[in-house]
Amino acid sequence: MSKVKIVAATGCPTGIAHTFMAAEALISAAEKLGAEIKVETHGQVGIENQLTKEEIQQADGVIIAADKDVLADRFSGKPTIDVSVSKAIKDPETLIQAIINGEAKIYRSSNQVNRNDEDNEEYEKKSIGRIIYQHLMNGISHMLPFVVGGGVLIALSFLFGINSADQNDPSYSAFAAFLNNSGSIAFSLMLPMLAGYIASSISQRSGLVAGFIGGMIADQGGAGFLGALIAGFLAGYLMLYLSRFLKGLPESLNGLKAIFILPLVGIFAVAGIMTVLVVPMSSINTWMQEFVTGFQGASPILLGIIVGCMGASDLGGPINKAAYVTALALLADGNYYFMAGVFSASMTPPLITAFAVIFFKRYFNQSDRSAGIVNFVLGSTQITEGAIPFAAKNPVVMIPIFMIGSSISTALTYLMAVQIPAPHGGFLILPVATNGLLWIACVLIGSIIGSILYGFYQKRTFNKRAKINISDQTERTEVKHVG
């Protein structure tokens, strides 16, 4: 009997950890269940192990494990399972088995959806929330390189002095000004990139231009991150339905439609709507900034608990990303305090596991010890996903432990008035952090407290299993003696 052939595509918003962890999990599960699989990854470096048309056609089923656009329309007509990237990490065997059992539904691209088709309507109702999330994460994933690269360059310019890019300041440095200017240019593209690639995820190339324009208007009008989100979805769906409306045009006009009609109408419509919306959106954006800033000054401990719990609750998933997106929005407006807390919240969970396998070594197996040691590196560089394998074993216990540790780290970070002007990097950006040594202490305190809680839980579990094994062995000995 020939093996079942499966193709898969994985992708997470950052394209750093979840993408490849999901790929490895699917490959391992396929080997275990006797299936043949090829996994295409959509990481930050681009598409790797790309699927060919022939491989897709010959496949018995498709697994899409992604939280962003992975060009899913090419799988149209194939039995497909479409899940979040975390689902593939936590339960890959179920996904593989579903393909083997023929339980996957036929995938319909957005262009094929027929409102009179009950299956399509059911599919839309079930996945509308995830579809919106995927569009949002597609925008964020394309935006991140600009934010990280630009933000770090700006942060490096501060090493020469906080005002070293100002020609009228005594600390002025031409090189610092170059760093600051280069980073600022990259950073200024953050909102247009976000809006453009949200729109592109919804309506492909036709939405890209309108999305960029909407994002620029949001940026220049002070509507900020929220305005760019609205501009992206507005441009995407406007261009999607405009494209459908123009499908009746003769094929000879397709070229004219693509390079003239769609861009012209799209830019005009989105610019007009955003010009009206930008004023109230700007007011809302200002209110949000003032609310967070006020909260930060009045109740840093409570804010630390909220951000800490968000950062550790799903270890790089939607809730974690919500905190990070808020921090990015505030960072763009010059608030470096909020991002410092998000750093601490994201770094603590993997460091908890790292310290736990050191302090309570005898209660962990060799595999856990090795993974824990690696988490010193992952945690220090702000890759929260390193804690996922530990959380997956017992999320009911582990997630609260991670949340407690992260809340302590984050609350202390806010109390110590730590500022971080970079959007990513963990301890790598320590030289540009304000109160950097205090920040290290905050993260270590939360991580060590969390590791002690984890260690005692692991010790209790280890001893309980040992008692069960001794009891079973005694029972077998008694039975043998009686016999």
Query: For the segment 3-54, what is each residue's pLDDT rounded down to a tens digit?
Result: 899 999 998 877 777 788 889 999 999 999 999 999 999 987 788 999 999 9
CB-count burial class (<10 Å; 0-12, 13-18, 19+) for 420: buried
Per-residue confidence (pLDDT) for residue 123, from 0 to 100:
46
153-157, 258-262, 324-328, 415-419: range with highest mean pLDDT: 415-419
Q: Which of 233-237, 242-246, 292-296, 362-366 has the lowest mean pLDDT?
A: 292-296
Tokens 């062995």 belong to residue: 473
pLDDT above 80 for 110: no
Whether domain 5-109 has CATH 3.40.50.2300 = yes
What is the end-to-end Cα distance of the chain in Å, rounded?
Answer: 46
Strand order, beta sheet including 79-83: 46-48, 36-43, 5-11, 61-66, 79-83, 105-106
- Specify the pLDDT at position 466: 74
Of 8, 12, 25, 307, which is the active-site residue?
Answer: 12
CB contact burial 371-395 (16+ within 10 A = b; e otherwise): bbeebbebbbbbbbbbbbbbbeeee
pLDDT for 364 beyond 70: yes
**pLDDT at residue 97 tops 80:** yes
Residues forming CATH 3.40.50.2300 domain(s) in the chain:
5-109
Residue 291 structure tokens: 């609310």
Query: Is 12 a known active-site residue?
Result: yes
Higher pLDDT, 477 or 96: 96
Give the pLDDT mean for 362-391: 88
Give the model's pLDDT for residue 117: 46
State the CB neighbour count (10 A cutoff) for residue 283.
12
* pLDDT band at 94; cut points 50, 70, 90: very high
Q: pTM score, two decimals? A: 0.71
User: What distances in angstroms separate CA 437 from CA 126, 221, 329, 416, 419, one per listed residue?
Assistant: 48, 38, 26, 10, 12
Query: 30 CB contacts (<8 Å, ≥6 apart)?
Result: 6, 36, 37, 96
What's the pLDDT score for residue 64? 94
pLDDT category, 295, cuts 50, 70, 90? Answer: confident
Query: Mean pLDDT of all residues in the chain?
Result: 85
Window from 16-20, 95-99, 181-185, 228-232 with minimum mean pLDDT: 16-20
pLDDT at 373: 93
| pLDDT at residue 135 is higher than 60 | yes
Regarding beta strands 79-83 and 36-43, do their DSSP bridges make them parallel or antiparallel, or are they unpaired? unpaired
